[in-house]
Amino acid sequence: MAERSISELGEKIKQEKGIHTNFKDDMTYGEYLSLEQVLGSQNRLSDHHDEMLFIIIHQVSELWMKLILHEMTGAIAAIQRNEMQPAFKMLARVSKIQTQIIQAWDVLATMTPAEYLEFRDDLGKASGFQSYQYRLIEFALGYKSSHILKIYEKNPSLSAILKEAHQAPSIYDVTIQALARAGLPINPELLTRDTSITYGGDETVAKAWKTVYENVNQYWDLYQLGEKLVDIEDWLQQWRFRHMKTVERIIGFKVGTGGSSGVNYLRQVLDHRFFPELWDVRTVL
């Protein structure tokens, strides 16, 4: 049965007269995607079978994070231009991407502690804690941890990118500006604040969101924006939780290869809220 199906498929392909087979002068699928470079970038440091899994999971996650940053940067710019509909599309895409990254932990969790120990020492001090794209995502969401910048001083060009992102307004900064543009009374100091400092909350922003959620039809765009941000923070926290549980499952409470406290550190960051008033408004409505 299987052989007949394969044979039938082969015949159907032959019948597709328009399929291109001569690429001497044209770009191929692999060339467009730079597949030779991408698929040649899994450089194992050991001979252990499962190191390939470890590398690919992290590389795939970094590719998804690159797309998250692309969409987040576009959404921030769109909100600043008061173009909410394009921003909503980009933020909805970010949420879908986040589900893919979360599911990646399920694949990594198929690796046992004994298997990971076979090549863990080969990693030296390299760690996911050093992911600069994850830091850029945190910065875009408003968590501006300046002490972390020291990790990237080895690479001046990368360090410059991170410092610029650290100084730039986050998506919540531009959202607060959108609240003010809509005529909602916002503390003027927030509109000119130092955006390299993590936002800690403000009573005027809390009152503004309460007004938005009590008058959905009047502030429909802001209401949608608020819910998109809640989606993103919700999924990010789920990603963090799956990260923590996968690490605990594989290395227990060992210190991370990058020197962090491992599971204990990952538990601490679960308490951080990026958009505090959007969560508090659910209690006061």
CATH number, position 55:
1.20.58.480
Domain of 151?
51-118+129-283
Angstrom distance (rounded) from CA 91 to CA 231: 9
- 8 part of a folded domain: no
| pLDDT at residue number 125 | 82
Is 28 inside a domain boundary? Answer: no
Mean pLDDT per 10-residue run, the chain (285 residues)?
Answer: 61 68 82 95 95 95 97 98 98 97 92 90 84 94 91 92 97 98 97 96 98 98 98 94 87 74 79 94 95
**CA-closest candidate to residue 91, choices 199, 213, 231, 219:** 231
Cα 145 from Cα 129, distance rounded (Å): 13
Domain membership of residue 216 (yes or no) is yes
Q: Which residues are annotated as a binding site for heme?
A: 243
pLDDT score recorded for residue 82: 96
Q: Indicate whether 30 belongs to any domain.
A: no
SS3 at position 42: coil
User: Which sign does the torsion angle of CA 37, 93, 145, 175 carry?
Assistant: positive
Q: In this structure, is residue 97 part of a structural domain?
A: yes
Residue 250 has which token pair? 């594989």
- Which residues make up each annotated binding site? 54-58, 116, 120, 243, 257
Does residue 15 form part of some domain?
A: no
Predicted pLDDT at 14:
64
Provide the token pair at 173: 């900064």
Number of domains in the chain: 1
Q: Mark the binding-site residues for substrate, compressed into ranges.
A: 54-58, 116, 120, 257
Asked whether 68 and 97 are in contact (CB, 8 A), the reply is yes
Give a yes or no: residue 245 inside a domain.
yes
pLDDT at 233: 96
Q: Is residue 274 part of a domain?
A: yes
Whole-number Å distance between alpha carbons of 113 and 134: 25
Structure confidence at residue 180 (pLDDT): 98
